[in-house]
C-alpha cells in the first residue's frame, strides 16, 4: 500500500527574500531605505565631527548639527553609517536584521549614556540631546527592520508569514495550483467545444 511522507516544516529555516516577487521586493526596498537614510545621517555627522578636529576622548566635545561629539563618537558614527550602507546594498533579510539589531543597540546606548552624563566616564561626550537622538534613531531603525515581519494580520503571501506557518502555506500553495489546473482544463474544454460547434452545425445541415 502506498504511503505519503508527512510534510516537514522546513520553511522555518533562514528566510531569503526573492526580490523578483512583488511582496519580497517591497519589503527589501523598505529595509534598504531605512538603512540608507540612517547611514547617511550618521556618516555626515561623523565626518563633520572629524573636520572640527575635536579630541578623541574629549568629554567636553564640540557641537555638530545640534549634537555634541568628539573624535571617538565621530569615528563610531562613521563606522555604523558604513555598516548600514552595506546593509542597504545587500538588502533583503540581512538589511532587516541589521536594522533591528542596531536599533536595539542605539536604544541601549541611549540608556547607558544617560546614566553616564556629567561623569568622568562619558567618553563619547554625550549630552541630553545625544541621548534623545539615540532613542529616536533606535526606534526608527527598529520600525524599518520590523516592517512586514510582525503583526497579527500579515498577508498570506508574506514570506515571514509563510515561514511561521509552513504547513498552511503549503496547503494554500497546493490548492492554488489545483485551482489553476482546473481553470486551465475548463478553458481547454470550452475551446474544443467552440471549435467543434461549426462541424456539428454542418453535420446537422447535411442530415436535414
Per-residue pLDDT of the chain (208 residues), as tens digits, is 444 444 444 444 567 765 666 766 787 888 899 999 999 999 999 999 888 776 676 777 778 888 988 889 999 999 999 999 999 999 888 999 999 999 999 999 999 999 999 888 888 889 999 999 999 999 999 999 888 777 667 666 666 666 666 676 577 667 767 777 776 666 555 555 555 555 555 555 555 5
Query: Nearest 5°: CA angle at 95, between 107 and 79?
Result: 60
Q: Is the model's pTM score more than 0.75?
A: no
Residue 73's nearest CA partner among 45, 110, 32, 95 is: 45
pLDDT for the residue numbered 65: 82
Asked if residue 50 lies in contact with residue 74, where contact means CB atoms within 8 angstroms, the answer is yes
Question: What phi and psi, each to the nearest 5 degrees, are found at residue 198?
Answer: -60, -35
CA distance 188 to 194: 10
| 3-state secondary structure (DSSP) of residue 25 | helix
pLDDT of the residue at 6: 46
Q: What pLDDT is recorded for position 5?
A: 43
pLDDT reported for residue 71: 87
pLDDT, residue 19, reads 63
User: In angstroms, how far is CA 18 from the centroid of its own chain?
Assistant: 12
Amino acid at each position: 500500500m502506498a504511503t505519503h511522507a508527512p510534510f516537514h516544516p522546513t520553511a522555518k529555516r533562514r528566510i531569503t527574500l526573492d526580490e523578483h516577487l512583488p511582496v519580497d521586493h517591497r519589503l527589501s526596498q523598505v529595509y534598504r531605505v531605512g538603512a540608507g537614510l540612517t547611514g547617511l545621517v550618521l556618516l555626515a555627522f561623523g565626518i563633520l565631527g572629524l573636520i572640527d578636529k575635536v579630541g578623541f576622548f574629549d568629554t567636553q566635545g564640540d557641537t555638530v548639527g545640534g549634537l555634541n561629539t568628539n573624535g571617538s563618537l565621530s569615528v563610531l558614527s562613521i563606522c555604523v553609517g558604513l555598516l548600514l550602507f552595506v546593509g542597504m546594498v545587500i538588502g533583503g533579510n540581512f538589511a532587516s536584521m541589521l536594522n533591528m539589531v542596531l536599533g536595539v543597540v542605539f536604544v541601549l546606548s541611549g540608556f547607558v549614556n544617560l546614566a553616564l552624563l556629567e561623569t568622568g566616564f562619558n567618553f563619547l561626550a554625550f549630552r541630553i540631546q545625544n541621548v534623545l537622538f539615540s532613542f529616536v534613531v533606535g526606534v526608527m531603525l527598529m520600525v524599518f527592520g520590523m516592517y512586514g515581519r510582525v503583526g497579527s494580520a500579515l498577508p498570506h503571501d508574506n514570506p515571514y508569514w509563510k515561514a511561521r506557518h509552513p504547513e498552511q502555506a503549503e496547503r494554500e500553495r497546493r490548492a492554488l495550483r489545483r485551482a489553476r489546473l482546473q481553470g486551465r482544463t475548463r478553458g481547454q474544454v470550452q475551446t474544443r467545444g467552440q471549435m467543434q460547434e461549426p462541424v456539428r452545425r454542418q453535420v446537422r445541415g447535411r442530415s436535414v
